[in-house]
Amino acid sequence: MKFLIVGLGNIGSEYEKTRHNIGFEVLDYFAAKHNGIFTTEKHADFCEFGLKGKKIIAIKPTTYMNLSGKAVRYWMNEYKIELKNVLVIVDDLAIPFGKLRIRANGSDAGHNGLRNIQEILQTQEYARLRFGIGNDFPKGRQIDFVLGKWSKEETSELITLIPKATEAIESYVLQGLGPTMTIFNK
């Protein structure tokens, strides 16, 4: 059984360690934990590894956030991965910092990466792991907040939060979406 795990973010050093790139950070940790090494391939930084008999295709789109769907569609087709085996890791302003929400489907909630994936795939029916980044910013400063670096306090908490998000991915692959939602949507 094959799974496509997609971490959303923006390429370039100016975006490293920003809230909008939490998908990349979680995927980096997940891949490293399972000895996956990313290489730059078509539309994405890519790695492939096994997880208890399951084949994991992990991608970090290099198309920039707003064109993430192009990479998702390419790698789904390349490896013939069914939509039910796709999980997208994404930042979410509507969820308090550090909280995780895993969903089977849903709207893009104003997230440009999810919006493009839905446009390209012509469906909202794919799983997403939403990583809460909170919304502690002054009115009109949303873009600065999302593209801003983690605070010192947030950075220290990410040391435990990123491994927890990795556990959610592993649960999704090994136990399925329903049990994972029960465990992590608390």
Q: Which of 20, 34, 43, 111 is catalytic?
A: 20
CB atoms within 10 A of CB 141: 10
Burial of 109 (0-12, 13-18, 19+ CB in 10 A): middle
- Whether 111 sits among the annotated catalytic residues: the reply is no
Pair 133, 9: CB distance under 8 Å: no
Nearest-CA neighbor of 59 among 19, 117, 1, 112?
117
Catalytic residue numbers, as ranges: 20
